[in-house]
Structure 1
Amino acid sequence: MADYTRTFGADLRLRRSAKRGEFHRVSRGQYFPRGQWDTLRNEERYAVVVCAAAAARQRDLVLSHQSAAVLHGLPFLFGPPSEVHFIVPRAAGGRSKPGIRKHAVHIDPRDVTVLNGLQVTTVARTVVDVAAALDLQSAVVVADRALYADRRGQRAVLATKTELYEAWARMLPFRGSARAKAVIDFASHLAGSPNESASRVNIALNGFPEPVLQHPFAVDGAEVFVDFYFPDEDKVGEADGKVKYFDPVMRDGRTPEQVLWAEKLREDGVRRQVHGFARWPFAVSVSRVRLRTRLLEFGLPITRPTLRAW
């Protein structure tokens, strides 16, 4: 995540500039250049709000939960929250106010790091905090991304499962510990996108067979990997999102048409080797009912759920 801590500021000139539309008001007394603000994605705007809130408060506050997640580059399944989250000393109490959520909980010094001059919970502690507090899909999305090992080396591994378990153990006892443990147990370093993580959750909740993640196939002399392979049924599933076709980073210099054609050739090559191939979009990935319908139509059997919702 970019360093936004030095980008905003506050003085009378900025207030006047904001009235002229040259700056965006982030919070009371905090302004951000309008031209830059308009180019930011929602997650990046939330990061600016987080940095502004932290810069305006005492140093003994530690950014946590989703606020730490955005600074570590961890994704949000349904977009960023409206509040900035802090962990505060228990003696200080957890009084919150509009836009600010304070958690008066124990935190081990080993679970705090510094990013761009701001105190933030470590990736492992952030994953556990989020896993204890958020819905199952959102929590698994964060945990999977923290563990993700990119074959191309474009994304760094942010945490190991051992580190997640260690952070979880240091927090005991705490509210939501069983939920957090279930998320850590289920998390995988092989899920490459929020779409895949959400699909994994709903596949398990519905009781479909556990798929092999990132199973390799040889297509026209190249090794390709699929999101989900169901070996007993010899079928492949792909959680397909717009990002691979429209995100310039994902396209890697190619046009959307070139990406679509390459994906078609890849799919055709895999289809020749299996007994079934299905794709589903984000809206299906995040819906337990819609994914259940899609995979039943695909011919997958339902056995026993391997994950429990809360």
Structure 2
Amino acid sequence: MLKLTDRAVTDSPIPLITRTEARMLGTALHPRTHIRLRRGIYVLREDYLRATPWEQYATRVHAFVRSHPDAVLCLESAGVIYGLPLFGHPRDIHVFDASLRTSQRYGDVCVHTSVDGREVVSEAGVLVTSLLDTVVDLARALSPGLALAVVDSAISPAQGGTVQLADAYELIVRQHNPRARSQARWVCSSADERAESPAESISRAVIEWSGFEQPELQHEFRYDGHHDRVDFLFPRSGTIGEADGWGKYQLDDPSAAAALLTEEKRREDRLRRHGHPFARWELNDAWRVKPLVEALRAAGLRQRHPSQPAMLASLRRRTRDRHA
């Protein structure tokens, strides 16, 4: 499974080239071949357009750091450096400046300030707000499902998290924004250090907001001499849920992937033989809600509470995204 350190983007995923370097190398910078990310900083157009939205954002962040090495990154921009599980292509570069009286915007750069202050640290040579401050800021700013994925990853030992949930909650209570505190309190009350992937976190939010019973995470079974651990167990019915991420099957190594898929099939058959209905889904199914709900219903689960349409709709409202 991926950990924060695995996801951390401490260097630009797409090589940056400055105007000075281009002159030295005899490289012609032309709009047909290069994209200007910041003044005097470019990337190959082909490389940038081929990258994922998240890689494009990480590249923009590093281009900004290249031109403003003394700036303190915060929110999603600091999340890039820490490897927090953010999604899509955030619209803005986020910077913290305690000396300002009010927050300001310059093009695609948001400069934030706060009466609460922030701890500033250096990660891989980049100035950022501390991991605790960054996680709490994102818990307040992101939509609830995304915020849950961030907090889960930060407190989960399996994901390499080192934040203590009690510290996050204490910091939230001390801050001055009542509306943001309300959301952050829900996120912290729902966070679970046993979550092993962002897919599990998003799925858990969808399960709750769709009215199903809350599952137990990482439940362990011992059948036929085997020790099996599952993502979700719904205790009333004994139904098992698995939020699949193809990364765990090592698909870049065909022989390893084949062995893992075979073992996974045997594991599922073993659990089914012992009376456990099975539901499987992927992260994209959780984003779309209906496929996850249908997978749970097909496994015999029924909603026990009314669904929360407004909360489910929040998964689709990506107001901080570049293309929202």
TM range (shorter): 0.7 to 0.9
Instruction: Determine which structure has greater relative contact order: mean sequence separation of CA pairs < 8 Å that are 6+ residues apart, divided by chain length.
Output: 2
Give the corresponding residue for 2:295. 294
Residues 176-255 of structure 1 mapped to structure 2, 5 A cutoff? 176-218=180-222, 221-246=225-250, 248=252, 254-255=255-256
Corresponding residue for 1:64? 74
Change (3 A) 1:91 1:40: same
**Aligned to 1:123, which of 131, 150, 171?**
131
Gaps in structure 1 of 5+ consecutive residues: none
Structure 2 residue aligned with 1:99: 108
- 2-side partners of 1:73 and 1:88: how far apart? 22
Alpha-carbon distance in 2 for matches of 1:104, 1:220: 58
SS in 2 for 1:89: coil
Aligned equivalents of 2:51, 2:225: Cα separation in 1: 40
CA distance in 2, matches of 1:146, 1:28: 34
Q: Deviations over 1:172-212 (max 9, x none)?
A: 34551110111011111111112111110011112211111
Tell me what 2:61 maps to.
50
Q: 3-state DSSP class of the match of 2:18?
A: coil
Q: Give the CA RMSD over aligned residues.
A: 3.2
- Relative to structure 1, the CA distance from residue 174 to residue 67 in structure 2 (aligned partners, 3 Å threshold; closer, same or farther) is farther
**Match in the other structure for 1:135:** 143
Aligned residues: 300
The residue number in structure 2 matching 1:278 is 279
1:19 match: secondary structure: coil
Contiguous gaps of at least 5 residues in structure 2? 1-7, 315-324
Compare 28-37 and 97-106 and name the one that shifted more. 28-37
The alignment status of 1:29 with 2:36, answered yes or no, reads: no
- Counterpart of 1:149 (choices 139, 157, 160) is 157
**Corresponding letter in the other structure for 1:269:** R
SS at match of 1:228: strand
Deviations 1:143-197 (A, max 9, x none): 11111122xxxx4223121221233234234551110111011111111112111
Relative to the length of structure 2, the TM-score reads 0.79
Given that 1:219 and 1:266 are in contact with CA atoms closer than 8 Å, whether structure 2 keeps it comes out as no
Cα separation, 2, equivalents of 1:306 and 1:148: 28
- Secondary structure of the residue aligned to 2:218 is strand
Q: Distance in 2 between matches of 1:225 and 1:73?
A: 26
Number of the residue aligned with 2:318 = none
Shift of 1:299: 2.0
8 Å contact from structure 1 (residues 18, 31) kept in 2: no
Question: Partner letter of residue 69 of structure 1?
Answer: G
**Identity over the aligned pairs, expressed in percent?**
31
